[in-house]
Structure 1
Amino acid sequence: MSQLVTEYLAAGANRHPSAADWDISGLLAFGADRSVALWQPQGENLQGLLALLSGHTDTVNAVKFIPESSGIIVSGSVDKTLRVWNRDPSSGLYTCIQTLSDHQSSVNCVAVSSHSSRIFVSGAADATVKIWALDDQNVASLKQSISIAPRFFPLALALSPLAGALESYVLAIAGTKDIIQLYVQDSQQGPDFKLQATLSGHEGWIRSLEFTQESFTPTSDLILSSASQDKYIRLWRIHQGKELPAAAASADPSLGAFMPGKSLSNRAHRFKAEGLDFSATFEALLLGHDDWIYSTKWRAVGNKLQLLSASADNSLAIWEPDETSGVWVTIARMGEISAEKGSTTATGSTGGFWTGLWSPSGETVVCLGRTGSWRLWDHDLSEDRWIQGVGISGHTQSITGIAWSKEGEYLLSTSSDQTTRLHAKWKREDLFSWHEMARPQIHGYDLNCIDSLGSSQFVSGADEKLLRVFNEPRAVASLLTKLCGFSTSYQESMPDAANMPVLGLSNKAIEAVDDGQEIVNPNRQDRDAIDPASIVHKSTLNLEHPPLEDHLSRHTLWPETEKLYGHGYEISCLAASHDGSLIATACKATSIDHAVIRLFETKTWHEASPFPPLPQCVKPPLTAHSLTVTRLRFSPDDNYLLSVGRDRQWALFSRSTQDLNTYTQTSSNPKGHSRMILDAAWTPTIERIFATAGRDKEVKIWGMDDEGVDFSLRASIKEENAVTAVDFTTVVMGDGKVYLAVGTEVGRVRVYTLDVKKNFEVKEVELIFPSTYPFPEKAITQLAWKPESPSSTGTSKTAELAIASEDSSLRIYYIAYPSS
C-alpha cells in the first residue's frame, strides 16, 4: 500500500460573473471547468488550490455559500443541475449531498440572502427562476417555480429580507433584457413570490444584482446595485413607508451632461408586504467604467457603504458616496489603468475582469480575469493603498501536453487555451509551494504538444504546420534561481527577455531597459512595432515572490529561436531525444502521404539528412503509418524510436550505429491493438520493453524476444475504459520494480508494478489517495513521472507524478512506496 500526497493542484476559473463566492470562513470557491475549486486566498503558506470537487458533468456557471450554514455550497452548471455540497466538521472535507435536476436548461445564476436564511434561488436558460428551501438536515426542496414574462434568460439574481418586515423577502431578477423585475414574498399572503415592480433605465443586458442594507438598523432601507453591459451601474432604493425617500444626489439634472438626450427617471414603484407600504425608486447612476460591467459586491464600512465593481475594461473599482455631496465616486481603482491594452489573444491585455469579491474582513479583494487567473490586492492601512499580492492561475482549456525539464526542476504544460506555462516550487525557509513561474508562450493557435530540450530550452507544436523552439531569457533564469534555488548557469548569449510584436506570433528577443528609459515607436502600424505595455524594465522581475498575473502575461515570455517546417497539417505529436540532438514530429493525417515522421537536428535545426550528406538530397521522412501518429517516444538510450497511431499499429525504428541521425524501421505490428493506440512509453530497464495504450481498454507490454530480433506481447492490463495515457518511472524503484501509471478517458489513474525478472509480472499498486483527491472530470491527456538521476536506480522509494487532463486541471502527486 502506497501513500499519495497532493503536491500541486492548478485549474483556471470559469469566465462567468456568478462562478465564485467567498465564505466568511475565508474559503473561496469557484467553478473550474466541471469542478468546484476551493482556495484559501489568505492562507499563510500561499499554496494553490486545496481541492477540486467533482460531480457536475458540464461547466460550472454559479457557486454560492449559504450564509451561517457551516460552509454549505450550492453550485449550478450547464448540465442543468444544482448540487449541494456539505462540509464534514471534523475533517473539513466536502461531499455532494444532493443533486437537483428540476431545471430544463443551463443554470446561470444562484442567489442567497446575506442574512441567516435557509432559502436560495436559481435561474436558468429555460427562462425560469426556482426558489428552494433547506430543512434542518440541509436537504433542499423546491418551493416555487417562476416562469419569467416577458420571456428572457436570467443572468443575475439577488435575494434579501424586506427591511421592517418579519418574514418577507424581495427577489430581484435580471438578464437578457434591460429591465429588473422585483418579486416579493408576503408572508401573510402565502409562501409564493409575486411580481410587484419592473425597474427600467438600463440599455443593455444586466449581469449582476446585489442587495445590501443602508445601515445596521433593522428598518433601514435596502439598496440594490445593478451592473449592465451599457457600462453603467445603477443603484435602487427600497424604502418602507408611504412617504417617498428624499431624492438621491445622483439624480441631479447636471448628470444629463454624461448622457445626452436621456433623462433619469425617478418613478416610484409601490407595493405592500405584511400590511406595510414599500416603494422602489432609482437612487444613483455610477459612471466611470469604459466597457461592460460584470459584477458588483457590497461592503459595509462603519456607517458607510462601499461597492466593488469588475468590468471588461480591465479594472476593478471601489465606490463610496462623498461625505458632503452624497455623489458616488471612485476611491480606488486596480487592474489595467494604461490605455495600451494590446491584443486580447496575446500579451498586453487580460481581456477584462469577470468578477470581483471582497474578503470577509474587507481588507482583501480578488478578481477573475480572462486568463482564468485570480488577482489579489491587500489594503495597506498605514499608506491607505491597495498592494497586489500573490494569486493563483491555471489553464482554462484542455491541457494537451506536459513535460518535465531534463533535470526535473520544473514542469512545462501546454493547452488548447493557447498558452504554455512553467510551474515550479517556490522555496522559502521551511515553506514551499508550487506556482506558475513563467508563461513562455502565448500563441494564436491551440497548442498540442511539448517537450523539453534541456534545462533552458523547449519545443512545442500547435494547430499550425510548424514547430517552434524557445530559449530561456536571463530575466526568467534569474527569477527561478532566486525563488526556486535552480543552479542555472547564466550564458552571455541569453537575451534579457522577450516580447511579441503587435501583429506577430513569434516572440522576439529584447534587451531590458532602464526604469526611466522611454521607448518610442516611429511607426505604430509596423508589424514589428513594440507594444509599450510589453516592454521589460530591468527591475520588473526582481521579485521576492512568484510573478503576478501582470508579469506572467507580459514579461515572462521566452524568445523564439527556431521554426521547424515540413509538415502539411496540424502538428499532432513530438518527442525530443534524451541527448537533445533530435526532435521527432508528426502531423494529423488521413493518408500515408502525410502520416510520416520527420526528424530534425538540434545543431543545425534542419531536417536530418543522410550520412554522408549528398548534394541536393534530403533524407525522406520515416513512413509506417496510414493515419495520424498519436505519440512518439525515444527509448532511454535513444537507440530506438517508437511510434503509435490511430491506424492501430505501433512501429519501431532503430538508430544507425554509423549515422546517429538516421533511423530505419526494424519492427512493427499492424494489429497491435483492436482499436486506435493513443499512447506509449519505454521502461528504464536495460531490457527493451515498452507499453502501448489503446481505445480497446488495454495496456500491452511488449518485450524483445529471446533472439533479440523482434518484439512480442509479454503482458496485458485490462481497464474498464479506454486508456488515453501511460508512463513509466524513469528509474527502477527501490523494490527492483518498474512503476507504470495508467490514465483513462474517464479521468481514472492507476499505478502498476512491472517485475521484469519474474516473467513480466504485473500488479496493481494499492494507492491511498488523499481525501481531497477527486479524479479529473475528463480524460487524462498525459502522464509524466518526474525524472530521477540514473544513479538512484534501485534506491529510489519516492516519485512525483504529473497528471494533465481535458478538464483543464494540472495535478502533481508525491508517492511514497512501501519499503518491502
Structure 2
Amino acid sequence: MSSEAFKERIVVNSLLCAAPVNRFSSCSTLVRSKQSVEVVFGTGQQIAIWNCTSRNRYPTLKLLKGHKGCITAIKNLERDSLRFVSGDLNGTVLVWAPDGEGLWQTVAHLVGHKRSISCISCIRLPIRNENACSSSEEEFLIVAGASDGCFISWKISINSQMGSMMAASEPVEALQTIQLGNQIALDAALAFLPDQSTHLVLALAGTDNKVAVYSLALPSLVFSLCFRLPGHTDWVRCLDFTLDPKQPSSLLLVSGSQDNFIRIWRCDQQVQPITQQTHDPISNSATDDPFQTLDELTQALKDEGQLTPLETNRQKVEMKRYPIKNTHWSFVSDAILYGHESWVTNVHWCINQSGLLQLLSTSSDRSMIMWRPSEEFDNIWLNVERFGELGTSTNLGLFGAHYFVGPHDQTETVLASGWTRSWHRWSKEDKAVWEPQVAPTGHYSGVTGLDWEKEGEYLASCSDDQTTRLWGSWRNSQIETPTNPSWHEICRPQAHGHNLFGVSFIGDRRSKFVSISEEKVIRVFDMTQDFIQVTQELGTTKLPFQKADARPQRATVPPLGLSNRVEDTEENEKDPHDTGSQQSCPPFEDQLLSHTLWPEIDKIYGHPSELSAITSSRCGRIIASACHANSSQTASIRLHSADDFSPIQPGILEGHQLTVTRLAFNSDASKLLSVSRDRSWAIWNRIPSSDGFVVDERREKAHARIIWDACWATSSTDMFLTGSRDKSVNSSCRASQYTHILARIFEGWEIPTSKRG
C-alpha cells in the first residue's frame, strides 16, 4: 500500500483537551469576532483557546506553543479583535494573530525583560498621515512590567492586507524603559483621553500602594510621570479604564487592592480645579454638605470601636484633583466600593445588553461581584450580583472577572477561574436567573498515571495535584452527534493529601480502581450510585453495571482524614449540588470538588517504602506494584489478587537493583514487563495453572539513562517499547531472545524530567 493511500485512510480528531488555567491574576483575556467569543488563557507553557460562544457546550480546546516558560500574563491587543499578547516567566513577550486556518501564529517577539512578566497592556494608535492611504497598516503600543523592576514599552506595526493572515511589517523597537526601583508593576492600563487622539494616559499599579499615572502626547511615545493616586493601604493588584456612557467626556479608572477595597477615579476637564475637600467644616446642612455627614458617621463608628484607625483611613474620600501635565484634564476620586472580604484579584468594566455600565470584580474570598451605579447617584455603586463558592475551603480565590454578551442569542455570561485552576461559568437569558454552565477543567500539575475502563467508555487519570479524575463522553443529542460526542470530566473520585503516582482499574475494570501515592499502601476504591446515575443520564455508558443498587450512594472525606468514607445519607440533608439529582450536563467544578467522591473500601500493605508503580491485568484479577528502592531486596515487584487483595505466590519478584518505574501486563496477562532506574528491563512469564510469575529474560543497560516508561504492542505478545531519559524510545521483540532492536525512534525528543525516582 502506498504512503499516500495510507495517509488518506488516517483521520485523527481531538476529542478531549483538559487544560487548567495558570494561577495568575492577569493570565486570561477575551478575544472577539462577529461570530464568536473566545477565552485565551495560559496553561503551563502553552496557550489555550476556548470557544465559549454557546451555552453548556464548547469545542475541543486549541493549544498554541511558542513560550519556553510558564505563561504569566495575557492581554487582548484591542477589544474587538482575535489578536492578543502573552508573557511568561522568562520575560518573553509574544504577539499572536490568526493564521487564517483556525489557529494562531506569532507576529512579533518583544525583548527587553529578563524576569517574569507581571502585567501587559495594549492600545491601538491612530493612523499616521503618511500611512492614511494604507488601511492595512495598523500600529499598536504595548507596555509590560516584570519582576525585574522595569517597565518597557514597544511599538509594533501589523499588516492585515491578506485578511486574517498577518505578519510583522517592520522590526519591533523598544521605545522606553522605566526603572521602578524596588517596586514591581502588578497591572497596567492604557487609554486615550475622551475626544482626544493625541493624549494617552497610562495607569500603573504596584507594590507601593499607589496608582502611578503617566501621560504622553503623540507623536512622542515617551511617557512622563504625572502623579501617584493615593488611597489604598496595600498592594494594588488590578486596573481598568473605560469611558462613562452617561458622561462621554469622562474617563473612569478602577483599581482593586489587597486592602479589600475597590476605588473608582474619574478623569475629566475642570474649569476651576478643586485642590481640597469641597465641604465647609462650619456647615450644618447634610443636604448641602454630604462629606461632613460622611465624616461624622465615620467618626461615630470609630468612637464606638467599630472602625479601626486603618479602616478609617481606607474609607477616607479625598476630593483633591490631580492634574495631567500640559492638559486641562485631571483625576479625582469618584467612589469607594467595599464588598469583598479579602484581596481583590481582578476588576473589569463591561457594558450590559441595555447599554449600562457594569463593573465585575473577583477576590480571594472565593467570590465574584457585579456592581452597577444606583439610579439616583452615579457615584454610589451597588452590589447587584454575587457569584462564587460557599462553604468550601478548597478554593482560595477567583481570578479573571470576564463578561460578554453572546453574538447569536444575546446571552449574558460571566467567567472566572478558581484556585483549583478550573473555570467557573454562569449565563442567563433576558431576566432569567444566572445558571452555571459547563467549563474546562484539568489537572494543574503533572499527570502521572492513566488507565482506560475496559470498554473504553471513560478514562482514569491521576496527578501530582493529588486528585484522581474520570473523563467520559457526553452524548447530548441536541448538541453533539452520537458519533462525535464531547468529552468532559465526569467524576473526581479521589482528592488526596499526597501526590498520586499511578491508577489502574481492577475487578471488572469498570467499577473499582486502585491508586498509589507517596505512601506505602495501595488504596482501593469502589463506585457509587451517584456515578452510575450520572453516566447513564449523560450517555457515557451503554452497558449496565453489576449490583448497582447495592452500592453506596456517595462518599465524603472526614476532617483531617485521607480515606474516603461512605456517607450516611439518612443523617445528612439533601445538598442541591449533589450529582445524584437529575443531571442534564457534566458536573460543575463545585460539584466535582466534593460531591463525586468514591468510597475507599480497602488498603493493600506489604511494601517497605513509598510506592512507585502499579498496574493490573486486562482481566482485572492480578495487581502488580513496586516501590522506591536502592537495593535488589527492596526493588521487588509484589503481586496481589484483586478478588480478596491477598498476596499471590510467589508474591515477590526480584530482578532489579533500583526503583521499578513502570509495570505492564500483555494482552492475555501471560507476561509482565518491568523497567527500572537501573536502565534494565525484565520479562516475567506466568506460571501455568497459577497467577504467579517467574523471570524469563532480563536485559541490562537497555538505555543510556533511566527508563521511565514501557508498554506492550496492542496486537502482539512478543513486542514492546521502552522510553528513557536518554531521549529515545526503543522497540524490542522476540527475535533471538529479545536482543534485536527493531527501531530507535523519537531520538532527540525533549523528555521532561520526572520528580519521582
Partner in structure 1 of residue 28 of structure 2: 20
Structure 2 CA distance for partners of 1:687 and 1:589, relative to 1, 3 Å: closer
Kindly indicate whether residue 247 of structure 2 is the aligned counterpart of residue 221 of structure 1: no
1:551 partner SS: helix
Greater RCO (Cα-Cα under 8 Å, separation 6 or more): 1
Q: After superposition, where does 1:321-720 map in structure 2 within 5 Å? A: 321-325=373-377, 326-336=379-389, 338=390, 340-342=391-393, 344=394, 350-360=395-405, 363-383=412-432, 385-429=433-477, 430-431=480-481, 432-453=485-506, 454-486=509-541, 487-489=543-545, 490-512=547-569, 518=573, 540-609=580-649, 619=651, 621-660=652-691, 662-685=692-715, 687-705=717-735, 710-720=737-747
Aligned with residue 227 of structure 2, among 197, 202, 211? 197
Q: 397-406 or 485-494: which moved more?
A: 485-494
**How far is 1:242 from its partner?**
3.6
Aligned with residue 316 of structure 1, among 362, 368, 385? 368
1:359 partner SS: strand
**How far is 1:75 from its partner?**
0.4
Distance 1:427 1:99 in 2: 42
**Deviations, residues 91-130 of structure 1 (Å, cap 9, x unaligned):** 2321112222211111111112499872221111111111
Q: After superposition, where does 1:731-742 map in structure 2 within 5 Å? A: none
CA contact (8 A) 1:241 1:276 kept: no
Distance 1:684 1:141 in 2: 51
- For structure 2, the 5+ residue unaligned runs are 1-6, 127-138, 160-166, 280-288
**How far is 1:705 from its partner?**
4.8
CA RMSD of aligned residues (A): 2.6
- For structure 1, the 5+ residue unaligned runs are 345-349, 520-534, 611-618, 722-743, 747-777, 782-805, 807-820
Distance 2:207 2:113 in 1: 18
Q: After superposition, where does 1:277-316 map in structure 2 within 5 Å? A: 277-301=328-352, 302=354, 304-316=356-368
2:457 partner SS: coil
Distance 1:469 1:249 in 2: 66
Distance 1:703 1:146 in 2: 61
CA contact (8 A) 2:273 2:321 kept: no
Aligned with residue 232 of structure 1, among 237, 243, 261? 261
Structure 2 CA distance for partners of 1:356 and 1:568, relative to 1, 3 Å: farther
Partner in structure 1 of residue 282 of structure 2: none
CA contact (8 A) 1:197 1:269 kept: no
1:6 partner SS: coil
Partner in structure 2 of residue 132 of structure 1: 154
Partner in structure 1 of residue 3 of structure 2: none
Distance 2:362 2:537 in 1: 34
Q: 61-70 or 289-298: which moved more?
A: 61-70
Q: 97-106 or 240-249: which moved more?
A: 240-249
Partner in structure 1 of residue 130 of structure 2: none
**How far is 1:395 from its partner?**
1.3
Q: 170-179 or 473-482: which moved more?
A: 170-179
Query: Could you state the TM-score of these two structures normalised by the residue count of structure 1?
Result: 0.79
Structure 2 CA distance for partners of 1:249 and 1:198, relative to 1, 3 Å: farther
Distance 2:491 2:176 in 1: 48
* Residue identity opposite 1:506 in structure 2: S
Query: Could you state the TM-score of these two structures normalised by the residue count of structure 2?
Result: 0.85
Distance 1:388 1:500 in 2: 25
**Deviations, residues 365-387 of structure 1 (Å, cap 9, x unaligned):** 0000011111111123233x321
**How far is 1:689 from its partner?**
2.5
1:546 partner SS: coil
1:5 partner SS: coil
2:239 partner SS: strand
**Deviations, residues 737-761 of structure 1 (Å, cap 9, x unaligned):** xxxxxxx535xxxxxxxxxxxxxxx
CA contact (8 A) 1:103 1:124 kept: yes
Distance 2:498 2:213 in 1: 45
Distance 1:678 1:484 in 2: 36
**How far is 1:686 from its partner?**
5.5
CA contact (8 A) 1:698 1:716 kept: no
Distance 1:400 1:122 in 2: 35
2:679 partner SS: coil
Distance 2:237 2:64 in 1: 26
**How far is 1:714 from its partner?**
4.7
Partner in structure 2 of residue 8 of structure 1: 16
**How far is 1:540 from its partner?**
4.5
Distance 1:315 1:69 in 2: 28
Distance 1:645 1:323 in 2: 70
Q: 300-309 or 125-134: which moved more?
A: 300-309
**How far is 1:134 from its partner?**
2.3
**Deviations, residues 429-487 of structure 1 (Å, cap 9, x unaligned):** 25321111111111111111111221111111112222211111110111001102412
Distance 1:201 1:447 in 2: 46
* Residue identity opposite 2:660 in structure 1: V
**How far is 1:32 from its partner?**
0.6
Partner in structure 2 of residue 93 of structure 1: 103
Distance 1:57 1:65 in 2: 20
* Residue identity opposite 1:428 in structure 2: N
* Residue identity opposite 1:598 in structure 2: R
Structure 2 CA distance for partners of 1:698 and 1:66, relative to 1, 3 Å: closer
Structure 2 CA distance for partners of 1:297 and 1:474, relative to 1, 3 Å: same
**Deviations, residues 765-792 of structure 1 (Å, cap 9, x unaligned):** xxxxxxxxxxxxx68x9xxxxxxxxxxx
* Residue identity opposite 1:464 in structure 2: E
Distance 1:101 1:250 in 2: 49
**Deviations, residues 522-552 of structure 1 (Å, cap 9, x unaligned):** xxxxxxxxxxxxx687775421011111111
* Residue identity opposite 2:412 in structure 1: E
CA contact (8 A) 2:124 2:140 kept: no
CA contact (8 A) 1:512 1:538 kept: no
Aligned with residue 750 of structure 2, among 728, 745, 753? 745
1:631 partner SS: strand
Distance 1:692 1:563 in 2: 30
CA contact (8 A) 2:473 2:540 kept: no
**Deviations, residues 106-162 of structure 1 (Å, cap 9, x unaligned):** 111111249987222111111111122221436373453343445311111111112
Distance 2:405 2:174 in 1: 30
CA contact (8 A) 1:513 1:536 kept: no
Structure 2 CA distance for partners of 1:148 and 1:249, relative to 1, 3 Å: farther
Aligned with residue 41 of structure 1, among 42, 47, 52? 52
Distance 1:323 1:45 in 2: 34
CA contact (8 A) 2:666 2:717 kept: no
Structure 2 CA distance for partners of 1:437 and 1:101, relative to 1, 3 Å: same
